[in-house]
Structure 1
Amino acid sequence: MASGTGNRRDLTQGPITRTLLLFAVPTLLSNVLQSLNGSINAVWVGRFLGESALAATSNANLVMFLMFALGFGFGMAATILVGQRMGAGDVEGARRAMGTAIGLFALVSLAVAAIGWIVAPGLLRALSTPPGAEVMALAYLRVIFLAMPAMFLGVLLAMGMRGTGDSITPLWLMMLNVSLDAGLNPVLIRGLGPVPAMGIAGSAMATLIANYVVLLAAIVVIYARDLPIRLRGRELGFLVPDRALLRTIFAKGLPMGLQMLVFSFSGLVMIGLVNRAGIHVTAAYGVAQQLWTYVQMPAMAIGAAVSAMAAQNIGAGRWDRIGRITRAGVITNVAMTGALVALLLLFDRPLLALFVGADSPAVPIARHIQLIGSWSFILFGVTLVLFSTVRANGAVVAPLLILCASVFVGRLAFAWALLGRFGTDVLWWSFPLGSAISLVLAVLYYQRGTWRTLHLGGDRANMREQANATAEPGGRLNPSG
């Protein structure tokens, strides 16, 4: 094995379903741990500081998701570039793509942290954050903005590892993150021993410390294990963003980032509508979202696996495997997500009570939300698998348009038009309606769209030739997802 290919898994060989699961399961465990971390922290906040604090973190976390949406698309584009080049045997090309992405993310994340600190009060006011939660939400959100550089770069490094076929190392790093964040939360919230009590800001500070420690650990691991995305010697020059790669990352990443912004905008509008119903409904919705993160985890992991497998197989010219990868992803997602939805509906009361206590008036509201909205994530998962496949070949505009139709028509227009007449149930029913619209349109595009014919910048031989053409940036590959 060539130097620098460390933990790489070749996703172009072997039985498809088995390869998919071997890649997806560590990613799923990483996602579960990440969600578990958020849930544990919500338990600490809800139990120690009350429902107002829990509502504050729900509002602040939505703003944080909005910030991540700004960089998500560019990270996805870079990841698919890495995957395609690894599939083509172009390790240096993968490092060029990763170096450009790291340089870009470092600058963007620092800007987001600085601007976010300044505009945080205005963002919370725009959300109609309940008055009882606004002060705590601001204290929490400002510390979270300071953690943004480590979060951005840590997520990018994990995505880059998965693009090379390594889903194990990100799992170990997530274990470290969860251990630190969840363990430090009660210490910093309540103040144990010599540590002063910081209240809700302590929860955010635990997240900050955990993410900076994990980022440092990730860098150490990448070099100690000689993973494919490591940069040494002259390769460190790849951290200066390459113009050709930046054009590709922006051209393909912008539509994917806009998709996340559409989700964020929908979430902002939704939380604004929910906030008007009172603090108990806001807390119930926040708790329901905590459980929904688990329901989404299989789809997210399988989507990441499908994307990585499709990108490597496209880079290797193995189009004969693309349809089978997609079918395996859809079947696996329906089975896993369906099982989780069933378990959630069977055991929702004790799970919800973990966050706000069994006697909280938010519990029956949250149970009702779960009953209406949870099954929509089965549809969401199938759509995500289809999107993951077409994005791996550079098709990013159609998924954006489909998402806009499902969000603006199926969710927001539906909610705005009928909320006054039918009450808050309209908000919960907008989830399955939007998911159904996106699934129908995604299936039609996958079956009849032109995504298979998109130009990816050359065949495998051309990619390998470009791996040696290091002197002329304009001559390098410009594909992506």
Structure 2
Amino acid sequence: MQNLTVGPPTRLILAFTLPLLIGNLFQQIYTFTDAAVVGRLLGLDALAAVGASGSLIFLLVGFSWGASAGLAIPVARAFGAGDLAGVRRYTAAGACASAAIAAVITTVGVVFARDLLRLLHTPPEVLDQSALFLTVTFAGAGVTVAFNFLSATIRALGDSRTPLYFLIAASVLNAGLVVLLVGAAHWGVAGAAAATVLAQLTSVTACIVLIVRRMPVLHLHREDWAAARHSLREPLRTGLPMGFQMSVIAIGALVLQLAVNGLGAVSVAAFTASMRVDQLAVAPLNSFGVAMVTFAAQNRGARQWHRIRVGAFRTSVLAAGTAVVLGLVLVTFAQPIVGLFVGPDQPEVLGMARTYFLVNGGLYVVLSLLFVLRNVVQGMGLSSIPTIAGALELVMRSTAALVLVRHFGFVGVAWAAPLAWFGALVPVALAWARQRRLLAEREREDARTHAQPTAVRADAMPLPAPDLTRSVELAEVR
């Protein structure tokens, strides 16, 4: 565990971000490996089948990812404030909410897989394989939700390294399993989905063992579970909006997938390969954002206003610089990287991929600022702002899908994501500008009264804690 309320902000954020970055890269290797093995061993139609189900997986599993991050925010605040009873209480409440989310996702995904694919006008030649991949994936959704929640909770206590080790092991296992199940066992696309579920199961098991052996602060007692019913409000207040935010973004991706499906199997394969590379490339930018959730939440709990401002500014600069480098790399090497999925004898697919990265790679700076600022305001507790940003992202992405793709084909597909980033950044940037002024006011008030609180030391807990059931918007503590 690590307390992020003490020490140089930049060094702490970088130290916390690095394991997240490596973990994100390995997590993307899950999908990267699946797509590469499926495309090379099973052919272009199988690759398109996996890609055609991607937006639906993002819609449902993405909700759990966002919700898990939100459910862990009260845990991080309680930890920053030294409220260990609150840590356990909010963890129990989050576990209950996660179990309900897993049940809904599994039921909807398994029962309605084929119907949902038909609604997306999935090409007939890939419908059966896509439905099979989707069904197996959602059958194991409980494992995915469990890992998202456990890893988010562990990170909320300042430990971003240990989940990384588990994720690396699972990624290596997934790579071996997908080759075994798809290649040797001839399970087809179902083998790729099953490999991911089995690999994630190992991560869940490892997280539970870690908590039992080394994290007594998360050892839940009967009274913690009893109190969870009365403590659900705060985790749900932060978790559900973040989950819905991801779902709103995913709906935009669904609309875009519908438009891409109408362009034919070749375009679907090009979009699938491009998205796999894109997700891998933006993992560093996303890691900065995830780190800022925990940093902002812990320092919000400890009332360290200046640290939040400094951390947000410096992390924005670091993320923007990283985005420039990533964009240059992808613009330069897009075609050979995508060739790993489809081989060099698919010039049409490679040309589409190059178009995609010429547009997206050049605008990664916008995405980097969106990741950092959106996660800062989420960590501060302003859950409504990211939801508004997600709605604008939906509008922009859907507009690109319905208008640009129809008139400009795959070029319209390439512009969909950047337009969505611009739309989402506007409310987030405005909200952060206001919160930054409020933080500065709090700093001046504390300076005038000589009452700036001393940062909570991890080895000095428990300490008196603020009432975490109240709204945490700074406007309410002015």
Give the partner amino acid of 1:224. Answer: R
1:84 aligns with 2:73: no
Give the partner amino acid of 2:296. Answer: A
Q: Check the 8 A contact 2:88/2:224 in 1, yes or no.
A: yes
TM-superposition CA deviations, 1:406-436 (whole Å, max 9, x none): 430x332244234433333222223222222
Q: Which residue pairs with 2:60 in the alignment? A: 67
SS at match of 1:363: helix
Q: Check the 8 A contact 2:61/2:145 in 1, yes or no.
A: yes
Give the partner amino acid of 1:217. Answer: A
1:364 aligns with 2:364: no
Q: Check the 8 A contact 1:103/1:240 in 2, yes or no.
A: no
1:210 aligns with 2:196: no
SS at match of 1:395: coil
Q: Check the 8 A contact 2:267/2:410 in 1, yes or no.
A: no
TM-superposition CA deviations, 1:165-203 (whole Å, max 9, x none): 000111001011101111101111122xxxx42111111
Distance 2:225 2:147 in 1: 16
Distance 1:152 1:92 in 2: 24
Q: Which residue pairs with 2:230 in the alignment? A: 244
Q: Which residue pairs with 2:413 in the alignment? A: 427
Which of residues 308, 327, 347 is equivalent to 2:333? Answer: 347
Q: Which residue pairs with 1:201 in the alignment? A: 190
- Cα shift at 1:379: 0.6
Q: What is the TM-score when the length of structure 1 is the normalising length?
A: 0.89
Distance 1:403 1:63 in 2: 17
Q: Check the 8 A contact 2:400/2:415 in 1, yes or no.
A: no
Give the partner amino acid of 2:144. Answer: M
Q: Check the 8 A contact 1:74/1:249 in 2, yes or no.
A: no
Q: Which residue pairs with 1:105 in the alignment? A: 98
- Cα shift at 1:116: 1.8
Distance 1:465 1:309 in 2: 20
Distance 2:405 2:70 in 1: 38
SS at match of 1:129: coil
Give the partner amino acid of 1:394. Answer: G
Tell me which moved more, 398-407 or 140-149: 398-407
Give the partner amino acid of 1:384. Answer: F
Distance 1:115 1:416 in 2: 26
Give the partner amino acid of 1:389. Answer: V
Q: Check the 8 A contact 2:249/2:393 in 1, yes or no.
A: no
Q: Which residue pairs with 1:230 in the alignment? A: 219
SS at match of 2:37: helix
SS at match of 1:358: coil
SS at match of 2:82: coil
Q: Check the 8 A contact 2:388/2:427 in 1, yes or no.
A: no
- Cα shift at 1:452: 4.7
1:266-281 counterparts in 2 under 5 A? Answer: 266-281=252-267
Distance 1:37 1:465 in 2: 43
Q: 1:260 to 1:198 in 2, by over 3 A?
A: same
Q: Check the 8 A contact 1:249/1:480 in 2, yes or no.
A: no
- Cα shift at 1:304: 1.2
Q: Which residue pairs with 1:317 in the alignment? A: 303
Q: 1:240 to 1:48 in 2, by over 3 A?
A: farther
- Cα shift at 1:134: 0.8
Q: Check the 8 A contact 1:116/1:145 in 2, yes or no.
A: yes
Structure 2: runs of 5 or more not aligned: 440-452, 457-461, 474-478
Q: 1:70 to 1:406 in 2, by over 3 A?
A: closer
Q: Check the 8 A contact 1:154/1:211 in 2, yes or no.
A: yes
Give the partner amino acid of 1:201. Answer: A
Aligned-residue CA RMSD (Å): 2.4
Which of residues 439, 455, 477 is equivalent to 2:469? Answer: 477
Which of residues 131, 134, 139 is equivalent to 2:127? Answer: 134
Give the partner amino acid of 2:263. Answer: A
1:331 aligns with 2:317: yes
Distance 1:257 1:381 in 2: 20
Q: 1:227 to 1:383 in 2, by over 3 A?
A: farther
- Cα shift at 1:95: 1.6
SS at match of 1:76: helix
Q: Which residue pairs with 2:445 in the alignment? A: none
Distance 2:399 2:260 in 1: 15
Give the partner amino acid of 2:334. Answer: D
**Count of equivalent residues:** 455
Give the partner amino acid of 2:48. Answer: A
Q: Which residue pairs with 1:3 in the alignment? A: none
Q: Which residue pairs with 1:471 in the alignment? A: none
Q: Which residue pairs with 1:374 in the alignment? A: 361
Q: Which residue pairs with 2:444 in the alignment? A: none
Distance 1:411 1:205 in 2: 31
Distance 1:230 1:378 in 2: 41
- Cα shift at 1:333: 0.5
Give the partner amino acid of 1:100. Answer: A
Give the partner amino acid of 1:277. Answer: L
Q: Check the 8 A contact 1:100/1:240 in 2, yes or no.
A: no
Give the partner amino acid of 1:269. Answer: V
Q: Check the 8 A contact 2:360/2:417 in 1, yes or no.
A: yes
- Cα shift at 1:357: 0.3
Q: Check the 8 A contact 1:375/1:432 in 2, yes or no.
A: no
Q: Which residue pairs with 1:304 in the alignment? A: 290
Q: Which residue pairs with 1:407 in the alignment? A: 394
Distance 1:451 1:394 in 2: 16
Q: Check the 8 A contact 1:393/1:451 in 2, yes or no.
A: no
Distance 1:160 1:353 in 2: 38
- Cα shift at 1:123: 1.1
Distance 1:384 1:157 in 2: 22
Distance 1:348 1:418 in 2: 23
Distance 2:217 2:273 in 1: 39
TM-superposition CA deviations, 1:270-319 (whole Å, max 9, x none): 01100111111110011110111122212211111111111111101111
- Cα shift at 1:244: 3.2
TM-superposition CA deviations, 1:358-391 (whole Å, max 9, x none): 1113111111111122233321120121111111
TM-superposition CA deviations, 1:61-96 (whole Å, max 9, x none): 321211123333432222111111110111221121
Give the partner amino acid of 2:214. Answer: R
| % identical equivalent positions | 29
Give the partner amino acid of 1:81. Answer: P
Distance 1:260 1:279 in 2: 27
